Chain A
Amino acid sequence: MLETEEEIRRFLEGEEEAFSRIVRRWERKVFNLAWRMLGNREDAQDVVQETFLSIFKSIRSLRDPNSFNTWLYAITLNHCRARRKSRSSNLLLNDLMSDRAEDEGRLFDVNSANRSGSDSVEALDIIRKALADLSEDHRIAIVLKEYMGLSLEELASVMNCPLSTAKSRLYHGLRGVQRNLKRMGIKVREF
């Protein structure tokens, strides 16, 4: 984070290259956040572009460069919401749930999935479906905590809610994923 702060300072002082270094550093994170929220790579890529344009225009309004990551994720989530609204991506995500019946009775071995490429693809599809069925708040909580690695305090900051609410959303999100996996017949073996 210290380096990002330094890059922000340099950019604000007029060094153009500093912004491209910020983009290189964070674009992968933003892409993966958007992909997990929207379930679609192309939409996620568009969100990355829109997010960094917003950042470029409004970086002067960032009061505390220490909180750049939470600010960046909050902007990304706003663009994800806008995109879902405009393209009805929710329908797309919910459609993924419709073929739940096909997955009935499946037994999934996490260890073997780590080894086999095709199983990983299958696991990705299952997780995407399990997340798609969550409410938006629960999905955001899971994605930010599980994949972006935010602390519970940072999670509350991005979601603009009290810490207790953030914990509750995360807990119920995790329970929701667990419930959806069971509904799809996924039994994660103990290991």
Chain B
Amino acid sequence: MRCEEIQERFIEFVYDEGGVSPVNTEIQEHLRSCSACREEFEELKQTRRYLQLWKDESPLRSVNLPVRNTEPAWKFGWKYARYAAIAAMLVVCFLAIANAQISWNSKGFSFSTRLFAGRHSEQNYYTKEEMKRALDDTELRINETNYTMMLKMLDTIEQDRLMEMHLSRGHAAQYQNKN
């Protein structure tokens, strides 16, 4: 065996893991005869001893141990049931708001809501005829009011005119009596 091959196998000798085998016997014989390899072998052993000066130390702190979930199954299930109930409540609220309706009809304003979209009752709305009748009534009432106001205005003007006439006649009679 050449020196390089021997040196590659030193490691088993240095750590005393070579055991007894023909190859190891060959290495031992080589070490006896080759001073360079013997010196190399000794240096490796001394390097090992030097490395052993780095002693073990204790850890700085204890390890924070993780805790495995030890809750009983029903408690674990109850926790999730609560979350499910809150989620269901939120969904109901959302649907109620999304399908809310404010309407106005002959009976007044009304607010209604439902979970799922669908046709709202007809009675919540004015029909065409009701709308027309309501508009006609409104127009009629406005016309009546205007007519009444105009009559009152004419009546007032007439009264003013009569008053003025009466006054002017009174003044004329007084003037004649003086003369």
Binding site for B on A (CB under 8 A): 16, 19-20, 23, 27-28, 31-32, 35-36, 41-42, 44-45, 48-49, 52-53, 56, 108, 110, 113-114, 120, 123-124, 127-128, 142, 145-147, 151-152, 167-168, 170-171, 174-175, 177-178, 181, 186, 188, 190
> Is there contact, CB below 8 Å, between A174 and B65?
no
Assess the A16–B46 pair: CB atoms within 8 A. Answer: no
Q: Which residue of A lies closest to B64 (CB)?
A: A49
Q: Main SS of the interface on chain B?
A: loop
The 3 closest A-B pairs by CB, nearest first: A31-B59, A123-B53, A171-B11
| Docked complex Cα distance between A18 and B67 (Å) | 12
Of the candidates A48, A128, A152, the one whose C-beta lies within 8 Å of that of B59 is: A48
Interface residues of B (CB under 8 A from A): 7-12, 14-15, 17, 42-44, 46-68, 70
**Docked pose: A42 CA to B60 CA in angstroms:** 8
Name which residue of chain B comes closest to A34, CB basis: B59
A146 touches B65 (CB 8 A): no
Query: Main SS of the interface on chain A?
Result: helix
Minimal beta-carbon separation of B55 from chain A (angstroms): 7
The answer on a CB contact under 8 Å between A45 and B61 is yes
- Kindly state the separation between the CA atoms of A19 and B63 in the bound complex, as whole angstroms: 11
Query: Nearest Cβ in chain A — how far from B46, in angstroms?
Result: 5
Please report the C-alpha to C-alpha distance between residue A99 and residue B3 in the assembled complex, in whole angstroms. 35
Instruction: Give the Cβ gap from A50 to chain B, nearest Cβ, in Å.
Output: 10
Residues of A within 8 A of B50 (CB): 108, 110, 123, 127, 177, 181, 186, 188
List B contacts of A35 (CB < 8 A): 57
Q: How far is the CB of B73 from chain A (nearest CB, A)?
A: 14
Interface centre among A16, A124, A171, A177 (most CB of B within 10 A): A171
Partner of B60 from the list A45, A127, A167 (CB cut-off 8 Å) is A45
Question: Smallest CB–CB gap between A172 and chain B, Å?
Answer: 9
Name the residue of chain A whose CB is nearest to the CB of B65.
Answer: A20
- Our pick among B42, B51, B55, B63 for the contact of A142 (Cβ within 8 Å) is B51
Given contacts A127-B54, A170-B11, contact A188 B60 (CB under 8 A): no
